[in-house]
């Protein structure tokens, strides 16, 4: 496995997809998902110039955090249980996977107690697939009205995942759905909400996500093969 070469090739594909969507490649951040590799490999990713690392499990994140500290910009991208919030607030820069009011309230509470404001994304389940977590698009307005009252969080955008094995058309319509939802939320002008980020696209579908406006692509497999 040649991590530096894989990163270079992904960077080129990001640049091509950006160009074909008339977008600036600098507006797209590569988040290297290191969940399947050890801290040494993650260090190699850092050394190759990718500073944003994503983990999907709290314990695995904490192990890597112990090894690498706050040198990387850390992203928590996987389902988060309320009772684990206390371990990560203030350590990760962005929590992508906030899928309920209850979870957001807990993050806000813990952040306030530490005297900080935690950046988060709200995860939506655009496809309606049952196995995926995420809020339903139809709940967005009611949810954001409540989220906008929480003082310990800053909502920086939205996150979604396309269903596994979906066709290209389906995948694109999921990503388009998230973009439209983000535009709709931005119009409401909620206080602690800035719709700066769309976290969508993984190894198999990041080019489609970039065409639909992704600003954060979460890539694992393609870097570590
Ligand atoms: C594992 C994971 C990714 C990366 O997926 P790859 O197919 O390995 O690129 C992205 N997002 C989330 C939420 C993940 O759990």
Write b or e for each residue in 92-109: b if 16 or more Cβ atoms lie within 10 A of its Cβ, otherwise e: bebbbbbbbbebbbbbbb
Calculate how far, in angstroms, residue 31's C-alpha sits from the geometric centre of ligand 1.
10
- The answer to whether the CB of 154 falls within 8 A of the CB of 117 is yes
pLDDT in tens, 20-63: 999 999 999 999 999 999 999 999 999 999 999 999 999 999 99
The confidence score (pLDDT) of residue 137 equals 87
Q: What is the pLDDT of residue 136?
A: 87
Q: Which of 198, 184, 180 is nearest to 94 (CA)?
A: 198
Q: What are the mean pLDDT values of the chain's consecutive 10-residue runs (225 residues total)?
A: 96 98 98 98 98 98 98 97 98 98 98 98 92 87 96 98 93 97 96 96 98 98 96
pLDDT of residue 39: 97
Ligand 1 close to Cβ of residue 201 (< 6 A): no
Centre of ligand 1 from the C-alpha of residue 127, in Å = 17
Give distance in angstroms: CA of 61 to centre of ligand 1. 14
Assigned token pair, 148: 């906008």
């Amino acid at each position: 496995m040649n991590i530096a070469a894989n990163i270079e090739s992904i960077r080129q594909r990001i640049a091509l997809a950006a160009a074909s969507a008339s977008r600036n490649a600098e507006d797209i951040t590569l988040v290297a998902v290191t969940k399947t590799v050890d801290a040494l490999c993650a260090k190699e990713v850092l050394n190759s110039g990718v500073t944003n690392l994503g983990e999907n499990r709290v314990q695995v994140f904490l192990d890597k955090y112990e090894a690498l500290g706050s040198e990387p910009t850390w992203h928590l991208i996987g389902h988060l249980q309320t009772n684990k919030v206390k371990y990560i607030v203030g350590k990760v820069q962005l929590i992508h996977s906030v899928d309920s009011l209850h979870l957001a309230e807990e993050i806000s509470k813990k952040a306030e107690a530490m005297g900080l404001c935690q950046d988060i994304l709200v995860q939506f389940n655009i496809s309606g697939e049952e196995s995926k977590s995420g809020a339903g698009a139809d709940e967005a307005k009611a949810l954001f009205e409540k989220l906008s009252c929480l003082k310990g969080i800053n909502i920086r955008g939205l996150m979604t995942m396309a269903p596994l094995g979906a066709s290209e058309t389906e995948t694109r319509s999921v990503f388009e759905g998230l973009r439209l939802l983000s535009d709709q939320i931005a119009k409401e002008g909620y206080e602690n909400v800035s719709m700066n980020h769309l976290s969508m696209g993984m190894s198999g579908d990041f080019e489609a996500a970039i065409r639909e406006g992704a600003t954060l692509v979460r890539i694992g497999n393609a870097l570590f093969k």
